[in-house]
Every structure is written in C-alpha cells, then in structure tokens.
Copies of this chain bind each other. A is one copy, B any other.
C-alpha cells in the first residue's frame, strides 16, 4: 500500500483545488508530509485529508485562513470551540445584516417600479405653536435621542394639560456627518402656547414655503429623501432658507413594522 499521494489525487480526495493546497502549504496551514528535495513534488498522507477536510469546511463558511489556523492549532478543544463559536457569532451578525438589507432591497425594488422614487412638491406651511426641546445628537444616538426627547415633551405637555395639535416633528440645524453630529430640535404642535418647563420650552415654529417629500419605510433609510430634496432645490434654482424638518406621521406604538412608517421631509426654500 502506497502511503503518499501526490497533490492531484489529494486534491480530488479533499475537494480542495491544487492551487489552494499549494497556498495552504505556503502559509504553513497544511504542509505536505513529504516534499521531494530535488523535484519539489508535494506528497500527502491519508491522515492529512482529515485536516484538509476541516479546512475545506471552515473555508466554506468564509472563515479567514488565520482563524482556521488558530482553530486547528488549538490542542485544547475548548479553545478551538471558542474560535469556531466566535466565527459563528460573526456569521450570525452578517446573516442578520443581510436579512435586513434584503428587506431594504425589496423596498428599493418596489420604489423603482413606481414612476418617481420621491415626488417633490412645494407647500405652504403655516406657523404653529409647539412645545420643543433642543439637543445635540449624532447618527449613532439619534434613535434614542429622539425617543427620549419626545418622551420629555410628552410628559411636560401632558402635565400642563395642553392638547397636542398635530404629529411630532424634528428640526435639524446641521447636516449630520459621521463623527461630529449636530444640533436638532424636537417639537410637538400644541393647541395653545406652552409656557415651558425644564428643558421643554414653547415657541412659535416659523411657517413658509417648503420643498416637501414623503418617505415611507424605516427611519435609517431616509437618506435618499434628503438627497432628492437638496438636489431638486438646487436644480430648480431655489435656495435652502433654513433648517430642514421631518414630520412623523406614523406612531411606532400603533404601527409595529418600520416598513410602514411614513415621514414627511421638508426644506424651507426661497
């Protein structure tokens, strides 16, 4: 019985390509049992096929070769299990991200099939009494910040016994960029002037001419609505005349699926 198999046969046994096997040799990940000094021919033992199989499986899970090495090098099976488990966690995160993105893709497809991705309209908006808080926020924290802010307003306005007069809105003074964040105001229309309490103050929100569009879908997919508006404003020779607004037409507590959220986006223009 011949003990050693050359690379081609080993390749078929293990379903790893010859190229890959040579690559693993070079990395020291799967070194042939014998390498002929003069010819350079690689020869593997049957027993090595097992390691090769393990590599193949781990690679089919897109595990980086370095991690494969680590997982296979560990004598302690608990350590090896830890490496595998770490990768499993990574895969699950990735999987979840893909599922989320698949939903987004689906909505993109549906939107594409409509005539216009975002229809821009010009609207006149009257001034309005609001109860508001102002705060600094950033892309990462905006979700929490908004929920918290509206909570404060709701508590203060409720305590004052003033009824709400419309859906809540957000006024963004800066363009949020990745690291620095920006200043925003959360506002709730109220039926009569709100005297203020703690952080929550009352004021009259300016009216004016607005470039307006509607975003339907999760909040973090709202970017295109903004870009469409700013692009439209530029192309139609207008100018941005103040901070942009979002109006939240959907109550998350009543509409559980973010895909059904409706949000107006407005830019005051001149």
Q: Chain A interface (Cβ within 8 Å of chain B)?
A: 1, 3, 12-15, 45-50, 52-54, 57, 60-61, 77-78, 80-81, 84-85, 87-88, 91-92, 94-95, 98-99, 101-102, 104-106, 108-109, 112-115, 117, 175, 177-178, 223-224, 226-228, 230-235, 239-240
Judging by beta carbons under 8 Å apart, are A112 and B1 in contact? no
Known: A13-B177, A77-B112. A47 touches B231 (CB 8 A): yes
Judging by beta carbons under 8 Å apart, are B235 and A47 in contact? yes
A104 to B87, CA, bound (A): 13
Interface of A is mostly: helix
A12 to B177, CA, bound (A): 5
Shortest beta-carbon distance, A71 to chain B, in Å?
Answer: 9
Our pick among B46, B50, B81 for the contact of A109 (Cβ within 8 Å) is B81
Known: A48-B231, A54-B108. 12 other contacts (CB 8 A): A1-B239, A1-B240, A14-B227, A45-B231, A45-B234, A46-B231, A52-B227, A61-B102, A81-B113, A88-B109, A95-B99, A95-B102
A112 to B114, CA, bound (A): 53
A48 to B227, CA, bound (A): 8
- How many of these chains are in the complex? 2
Judging by beta carbons under 8 Å apart, are A106 and B81 in contact? no
Shortest beta-carbon distance, A163 to chain B, in Å?
Answer: 38
Q: Which of A52, A61, A91, A95 lies at the interface centre, i.e. has the most chain B CB atoms within 10 A of its CB?
A: A61
A226 to B14, CA, bound (A): 11
Shortest beta-carbon distance, A11 to chain B, in Å?
Answer: 9
Q: List the 7 shortest-distance A-B pairs measured between CB atoms, nearest first.
A: A47-B231, A12-B177, A49-B227, A50-B227, A46-B230, A1-B239, A77-B112
A235 to B49, CA, bound (A): 13
Known: A54-B224, A88-B105. A80 touches B112 (CB 8 A): yes
Shortest beta-carbon distance, A215 to chain B, in Å?
Answer: 12
Judging by beta carbons under 8 Å apart, are A47 and B13 in contact? no
15 inter-chain pairs at a CB distance below 8 angstroms, sorted by A residue, are A1-B240, A13-B175, A13-B177, A47-B231, A47-B234, A49-B226, A50-B231, A61-B101, A61-B104, A77-B112, A84-B112, A85-B109, A91-B102, A92-B102, A95-B102
Known: A13-B175, A87-B105. A50 touches B228 (CB 8 A): yes
A15 to B114, CA, bound (A): 26
Q: Which of A175, A223, A231 lies at the interface centre, i.e. has the most chain B CB atoms within 10 A of its CB?
A: A223
